[in-house]
Structure 1
Amino acid sequence: MTATLSTAEERKRAREERRKRASVYTVLTAWLGRPLASFHLVLAVFGLLTVLGLVMVLSASAVVSIQSGQSVYAVFKKQLLFVLIGAVMFWVALRLPLRLMRQFCGPALAVCFALLVLVLPFGAEINGTTSWFVIGPISFQPIEVAKLALVLWGAHVLVQKKAVLHQYRHLLVPLVPVALLMFALVMMQPDLGGTVTLVLVLFALLWFAGAPMRIFGAAAIGGVAGILVLSLNKAYRLDRVVAFLNPEKDPDGKGHQALQALYALADGGLFGKGLGQGPSKWRYLPNVHNDFIFALIGEELGFLGCMLVLGLFAMLAVVGLRIAARNIDPWIRMVAATLTVWLVGQAAINIAYVVGLLPVTGITLPMISAGGTSIVVTMFVFGVLANCARHEPESVAALRSQGPGRFGRLMKLPAPDVYNPPQKRKPVRPSTPPRAAGRRGSGTGRTGTAERQLQERRRTRRSVPIPEHRREHRRSARGRAGHPRADEGGRH
């Protein structure tokens, strides 16, 4: 009897758990089906990454600020200023009509090329690369803006040539030559991290344009060969490859940074040592507030902190591809998907070389690492993604019928434009050529010869006299046609 009661209770608990799971799934599915769900998810990811980045930069840069003889908040104040500028750029990207971005993407790309050329003779050298314009306390890196310009312009070109993309010359030209020229200018600085991100953008554009796999195979072979050549060309790049292959060989020299990052991750454990308590930032791990901030997250916040970062970027990947799938404008689809691959791919490369899966390339962790131009441009990219989310057909219908909502009224966001697909032109039938005039010699070729023969036959018929018996036969035939026959008239 007791066993029967326990079995019944277990079944009842199992039914209740299934009901709870079903209710949670139903609520989540219903919320994701709302018109502005993608827009709200982008805002949530954007806000969480911004707050996490500011907290970790404050924790990582305090020691650097003190050792430089400044206030403990010196680096953090500069980062906070860049975040405020980036927030303004996020608002601008959210308000700016996407059709204007597409309209001016060509001139923007030309300006970026000019800046990449000018930075070579007039730029400042920082960390071994001449890729910065420094004007007083302000520094600007043009490669960050060039990435965004390449995304917008490349998507525009591929969408314009959508009908002929099955031909290689239309698929690759002019996108690939322009991208290769940009690669060359960036490698002359030299900036390996910027070049890797540009390659990621180019591959994403070709992938979402439907390029065949053989192109990616050939590009991968060429990329590996280029990496080998560039690695052997400069001593510091060769040192990075050697340190990646065997960091224990020189633990105090070439492999120091890679080993210290692994030690910091291992020391964190499951819950970490506590925010601000990580010892690796006391000069054990160089550039901890820039390239290796993920190692400090693992040390201070533990495995759970690392999973939080990975979960946020995984959510960004899902939401970005969802925005691309739910839009009907092909340019918005390609822009949203490519920007998502750019941000998530850059984060994956940074995390991969921190944990020892890739050689160190100097790529920052988006929205979390300390930086000026990178954080401002990344926040602008998030604004473009949020703007693309507002252009989903269901979102457009909801915003135009129900109003902008609380956030829209607070940000003074205009209603998104309705997508009007380009009208297909009907094929124009060629008009028939006008006939030649009736004058002799007016026609040329076969048409003129036939016309002259017809006129000649008509003149010949008029000149030949008709015999008298044929004239009598024609007159009698006309008379019979005009009067009814006698036998028909006598019938009733």
Structure 2
Amino acid sequence: MRRFEADRMVLRVSDSGLLGIMVLLTGTGVSALFSASYHFGRVAAGDPFYFFNRQILWIVLGTLFSFILSRMPLTLIRRLTHPFIITTIVLNILTYVPGIGSTAGGASRWIEIGGNSFQPSELVRVALVLYMAHILDKKKDRMDDFLNSILPVLIMSVFMTVLVYFQNDFSSAIYVFLIAILLLFLAGIRWSYIFGGSAAIVLSAIPMVMAKPYRLERIRSWLSPLADPSGAGYQLLKSRMALQNGHFWGLGVGQGQVKLGGLPAAHSDFVFAVVGEETGFAGIVFILFLFLVFAIKGYSVALNSSSCYVRLAAFGLTSSVYFQVLINAAVVCGALPATGIPLPLFSAGGTSTLVTLGIFGLLINFSRYKAKDREVLCYG
């Protein structure tokens, strides 16, 4: 007697809540970005609308991309998984090629094409999650077989992490590997593997930090920003000052002062500080609430499905966005050292915007499928 389980998936209406939160976050984010970037755009590019216009273009492209992904059959998404991860690997390798890869701030994370830059490492968080969900679903009944089930996925996770790390992006590398470990945990691997993976993160992070003096300097300035208030601690102190100036209701949208040259990266990694100064504690709570609703919606998609693939993919994609939010907010508040991880849909960055909206499209797609009770089929 041969026995197996089949999950019956039924099509349903898309989760309108996910679509609504996408619209709210995108609209609020681009408004906050314009306020945070118009001064720098005027000074750096001679156009106060420079970053705003570029962000609008990426939002339009991202919305179209999101719509396509939201309507794509799940079988097609899974068939495209291997070509997608190969493409992601090739694009990330191209960042190391002279004349193609572009370096800024000591990091080699971009591909320069016709004056426009693209950051392939942003694709890693999606490609790796979809790859892991696909493989772990296929091998869900053999999770005790480390050599054939766990090791291939672990090798790919380490390889993608190393690719990002050698672009001089330590924070994103750790963040990517953490998501991989969480997905392995959700897939049901042994606790000993989880502890081993966690220990590997800690042990590998120490030499990674020691390898670059500026990383140690970031940690020192985070622990004691007043030790060098005009140097390494300057950005953190300015960020805290902006949040304190905002009080409860803020100075008013567009009325912030720290963005007028006082805070480096006010339009990108530290846009949250500008939001705090202009909208105050109330504005910060509102933004965090919107992202919390997104997380609840995304995790609900995972929890409401009996499909292993959908559970893993939805959980990983939701985490890849929400963890960025938590990390960015923690950095701006001074709870973590500076990481270079942006605030999704708020920080200037076309690739991040495109990928984040693509993730929304995938989650909306997954929300259209709800598993009925499993039926057990028996064959002689």
Partner of residue 285, structure 2: 307
CA–CA distance in 1 between the matches of 2:374 and 2:119? 37
Which segment drifts farther, 288-297 or 67-76?
Answer: 67-76
- Greater RCO between the two (CA within 8 Å, min separation 6)? 2
Partner of residue 228, structure 2: 250
Aligned residues: 367
Secondary structure of the residue that 1:228 maps to in structure 2? Answer: helix
Partner of residue 315, structure 2: 337
CA–CA distance in 2 between the matches of 1:150 and 1:259? 36
Partner of residue 198, structure 1: 176
8 Å CA contact 1:200–1:345 kept in 2: the answer is: no
How far did 1:224 drift? 2.0
Query: Which structure is larger by alpha-carbon Rg, 1 or 2?
Result: 1
Partner of residue 223, structure 1: 201
8 Å CA contact 1:155–1:334 kept in 2: the answer is: yes
Partner of residue 106, structure 1: 82
How far did 1:426 drift? 4.5
TM-score (norm 2): 0.92
Q: Residues 227-263 of structure 1: CA distance to partner in whole angstroms, max 9, x if unpaired? A: 2211111122111111111111001100111111111
Which 5+ residue runs of structure 2 have no aligned equivalent?
1-11
Which one of the candidate residues 207, 211, 234 is aligned to 2:185? Answer: 207
Which one of the candidate residues 134, 155, 158 is aligned to 1:156? Answer: 134
Partner of residue 375, structure 1: 353
CA–CA distance in 2 between the matches of 1:362 and 1:189? 13
CA–CA distance in 2 between the matches of 1:227 and 1:324? 30
Partner of residue 15, structure 2: 39
Which one of the candidate residues 213, 216, 240 is aligned to 1:235? Answer: 213
Q: 1:238 corresponds to which letter in structure 2?
A: L
Partner of residue 14, structure 1: none
CA–CA distance in 1 between the matches of 2:149 and 2:53? 46
Query: Where in structure 2 are the equivalents of 1:37-436 lying within 5 Å?
Result: 39-121=15-97, 122-393=100-371, 426=379
Secondary structure of the residue that 2:19 maps to in structure 1? Answer: helix
Q: Residues 109-151 of structure 1: CA distance to partner in whole angstroms, max 9, x if unpaired? A: 1121122222212311122111111111321111112221111
CA–CA distance in 1 between the matches of 2:112 and 2:226? 38
Secondary structure of the residue that 2:253 maps to in structure 1? Answer: coil
Q: 1:42 corresponds to which letter in structure 2?
A: L
CA–CA distance in 2 between the matches of 1:426 and 1:173? 32
8 Å CA contact 2:158–2:177 kept in 1: the answer is: no
Please state which structure has a larger fraction of its residues in strand. 2
CA–CA distance in 2 between the matches of 1:252 and 1:228? 27
How far did 1:201 drift? 2.3
Q: Residues 51-103 of structure 1: CA distance to partner in whole angstroms, max 9, x if unpaired? A: 11110110010110111251111111111111111111111111211210111
Segments of 4+ in structure 1 off by > 4 A?
Answer: 423-427
Partner of residue 9, structure 2: none
Percent identical among aligned pairs is 34
8 Å CA contact 2:34–2:49 kept in 1: the answer is: yes
8 Å CA contact 1:231–1:241 kept in 2: the answer is: no
Which 5+ residue runs of structure 1 have no aligned equivalent?
1-34, 395-418, 428-492
CA–CA distance in 2 between the matches of 1:314 and 1:207? 22
CA–CA distance in 2 between the matches of 1:133 and 1:313? 30
